[in-house]
Amino acid sequence: MTNSTTPASENFSCWRRQKFLMKKQTICTIALLLVSFHQPNARANGRERHAETIRFLMKDPELGGASSSIILTIPRDFFEDGVSPATESTADSALLFVTWPSWTTNNDPSSSEYLRILLEPTNTSFGPEKIVSGIMKAFISDRAHNRQINFDLGLRAPQVSSLDAPYPSGYGLREITRYFPTANDDPIRVENFILGEATQPKSFLRCDKMHLSNAPQCQYWFVYKEILVKLTFDRKYVSDFYKMELTTKEHLDVFLNPDSTKETR
């Protein structure tokens, strides 16, 4: 006959093993909580934390002493295709590629939720408005036939069309209706807008028309702290154009002074 009663010593041994496992599990749980508590927020304040940053000087050698000299510190994975300047090197531009509206790393070139940012040093001999004006003139003047715009741009409030919704508006944006298209430009397929006056535009926005383009895009130029910024994005985000400008300026402030937490107002 088998004795079904478990000896007291064996019961005590099982109890000790169980207590040890419970204690070990508690220690592991506490450790995980501590790690989670001290782990930096991966997207604190809407920004990712990046393992590596590239510090470089942006300057255009073709402009010589007239070129602005900008020291930037930018996360490597913000650069398009991961192609960045070497650390502590000199570059004449920087091309970034991020997700919009989150302004986070974008590794999908086929995504329509993108924001491409081209940064270039400016010619310090000219003010921001003259630089933007020069870009605008390149698109609305027919230099091949020596027909220069006389700043009678036929400015008007943007005319909303269901064919080209969404449409940019607000912030004083006006549409250019009178200009000379360049040889490679079809005025039926593009629209041009400015913020500011015809002779002193603060920014220049140029978009493909939605209903006439397979993959309509917009390009938006402005100058900030001696940096010429060109934003390229899907036309569906055109109503965000000004928000894109403000967000880009906030990130540039961080790139220019990575140790500062001060944000652009």
Q: Would you list the domain boundaries of the chain?
A: 1-39, 44-256
Q: 109 pLDDT band (50/70/90 cuts)? A: confident
Tell me, what's the pLDDT at 43?
41
Distance of CA 38 to the CA centre of its chain: 29
| 239 vs 159: which has the higher pLDDT | 239
| 214 vs 251: which has the higher pLDDT | 251
- 3-state DSSP assignment of residue 233: strand
**From CA 220, how far away is CA 231, in angstroms rounded?**
5
Tell me, what's the pLDDT at 5?
44
Least confident of 22-36, 58-72, 128-142: 22-36
CA distances to 40, 108, 225 from 230, in Å: 32, 20, 14
Tell me, what's the pLDDT at 177?
84
Q: Which of 139, 88, 80 is nearest to 111 (CA)?
A: 80
Query: Rounded mean pLDDT of 58-83?
Result: 94
Order of all β-strands in the sheet with 90-91: 70-75, 53-58, 90-91
Distance of CA 195 to the CA centre of its chain: 20
> What's the mean per-residue pLDDT of the chain?
80
Query: Rounded mean pLDDT of 32-56?
Result: 53
| 140 vs 59: which has the higher pLDDT | 59
Tell me: the pLDDT tens digits for 186-227? 556 888 999 999 889 999 999 998 877 888 999 999 999 999
